[in-house]
Structure 1
Amino acid sequence: MKYGHSLVIFIFLAVLSADLQGTEISIETLPPVVVETVPRAGNSSVDPSLKEIRVTFSKDMITEKMWSWVMISKDTFPKIVGEIKFLKDKRTCVAPVKLEKGKTYAIWFNSEKYNAFRDTTSKPAIPYLLVFQTRK
């Protein structure tokens, strides 16, 4: 499935486009998107002593244990060492982690199968892939 996730995102956007025909385009009507991650996507020199990964969305989210930190593989998923939670801002979800030196990590926030990251009107967030690497 070399192009699997790209195809899913394309199909999702096509369906979203069809669903929004005749609908006013606004922040309220569109699904939430990731606006920031810590570490930043594509960073190849992340400090391996980083204690948490954060994802921030464009809208207030349902925060009652509603999230989808999706594993691509066991080898590229960070070790979660505590409780995942939303901050009081209702937009930032935090996972306490233990990272290893010189390793590449990959996490989907929502995916084709898992879409529990949802705004307060229950619209699922657009899937987002975070990939980063720690320093040796």
Structure 2
Amino acid sequence: MAREYKRGYKQDKPRNADGTFAYCEELEQRQIDMIHELISNGGHKTKACETLGIPRSTLYKWLDNEKFKKAYQTACERLYEEGLSDAIKTTLKLMKCQDSRTALKACENIMKLNGYLDTKVDVTQNPSEIVITLADSND
């Protein structure tokens, strides 16, 4: 269901001497809505445009606008930071898992994330033993 925006919104905006619209310091409500929609749908531009009833050409113009681009990037970074925090907490819980293969894989991920391991850990588990082999990441 497309959101209805005020028709004729451009007429209310100031214009430059050449007739183009003057630079705006703040984002419009529909630009803010677009950022929220892009974040909530995983960045699918076509779907976001359809949901909000905004032409894709308009979105691509906004993506060329430094103010819009910075606001969108900031929102993405905030989402990434929140997700990364949750991922690390989950990985730390998995390190204490009863399944040794899962715990070892979680340890590998934490070590790689902190720059202590640049090799691949290959785990082979038999009923009586666990074999760990380190291989170069380039292989």
Q: Do both share a fold (TM > 0.5)? A: no
Considering Cα pairs closer than 8 Å and 6+ residues apart, tell me whether 1 or 2 has the greater RCO: 1
Larger radius of gyration: 2
Which one has the bigger helix percentage?
Answer: 2
Which one has the bigger strand percentage?
Answer: 1
